[in-house]
Amino acid sequence: MGDSFLIRARHRLSIKSLPFKSIVKFLITFPLILLVCYLPVTYMAYKGYKEKAASVDYWNVILLEFDPSIRGEIYRLIQTFPTGLTDKEEAQLTDLICAESRKYGCDPELVLALIIVESSFYSKATSSKGAKGLMQLRPDVAKVLAKEVGIAWDEEKAIYDPGVNIQLGLYYLSQLILQFKDLKVALAAYNFGPTYIRERIELGMALPTGYADKVLRKYRRLSQERYKEHGEPL
């Protein structure tokens, strides 16, 4: 009888202890499950915030006020390149870069960096893919841009015309910046085409950064040279 009593007591104790063990196990494992599930989400949100914060710096490049004193420096810089233009045309090109930069609220030194990377200021430059002129526009793209801007289009004359090329190129860049809200992405779209970049974004694929990095390195170098010369930031 004593043995049967002990057996029943142990049985009751084990039954009563089951809920307690389950609760303890749940309290231990549930926070771990939450941590495993939400840690990647939290990391991605933080990463997105950091990327957005970084893009603000690039966006501010576009919002800088135009500095009229930079005109002489732009002209002197252009004269260091074999442009294929006369001195008068180089002076007109300088005025146009200043005017179009101010029109679109863009730092002219960013425009200079883009042109240097694209064509080294050679007005007759033609790429292996058929892009032409100072800002290396493809004729089919330039034709559409000319219609949007309201410029009469004559491909053979207009595409190599420094004035037309700069107007269309800066308009194109400004539209890409407004579309993608990020200068690095806009520069990638300028180089690879907005359709290609948009498709990669939609598929969650990494974007090519080499071209944008090259332009921005050149831009920073121009800014640093100006800072060293004048002792003032842009």
Is residue 10 located within the same domain as residue 82? no
Q: Give the per-residue pLDDT at 123.
A: 95
Q: What is the pLDDT of residue 225?
A: 76
Q: How confident is the model at residue 170 (pLDDT cuts 50, 70, 90)?
A: very high
CATH code for the domain in which residue 205 is found: 1.10.530.10
37/75 same-domain check: no
Q: Are residues 34 and 104 in the same domain?
A: no
Q: What pTM value is reported for the model?
A: 0.69
CA 134 to chain centre: 21
Domain endpoint, select from 47, 63, 79: 63
Domain of 81 in residue numbering reads as 66-230
Task: Based on the fold, state whether residues 21 and 89 are members of the same structural domain.
Answer: no
pLDDT of residue 183: 94
Residues 167 and 130 placed together within one structural domain of the fold: yes
pLDDT (0 to 100) of residue 48: 43
Q: Which among 145, 144, 175, 142 has a CA at the least distance from the CA of 159?
A: 142
Q: State whether 22 and 75 are in the same domain.
A: no
The pLDDT of residue 1 is: 52
81, 185: one domain = yes
Q: Count of domains in the chain?
A: 2
Distances (CA, A) of 174 to 29, 62, 104: 53, 9, 7
CA nearest to 172, candidates 151, 197, 192, 146: 146
Is residue 177's pLDDT more than 50? yes
Across 144-158, average pLDDT: 89
Verify that 197 and 156 share a domain, yes or no.
yes
Q: What is the DSSP string of 62-87?
A: HHPPP-GGGHHHHHHHHTTS--S--H
Last residue of a domain, one of 14, 44, 63: 63
Specify whether 196 is located in the same domain as 84.
Answer: yes
Report the distance separating Cα 139 and Cα 155, nearest Å: 7
| Chain position carrying tokens 């063990």 | 21
Closest CA to 151 of 164, 139, 137, 134: 164
Find the farthest-apart pair of alpha carbons in the chain and give their distance in angstroms, rounded. Answer: 119
B/e letters for 108-146, b = 16+ CB within 10 Å, e = fewer, are bbbbbbbbbbbbebbbebeeeeebbbbbbbeeeebbebb
Q: Name the phi and psi angles at 132, rounded to 5.
A: -135, 155
140 phi and psi angles, rounded to 5 deg = -65, -40
Per-residue pLDDT band at 61 (split at 50, 70, 90)? very low
Residues 43, 89: one domain? no
Residues 74 and 102 in one domain: yes
Final residue in a domain of this structure, among 21, 37, 63: 63
Residue 88 shares a structural domain with residue 202: yes
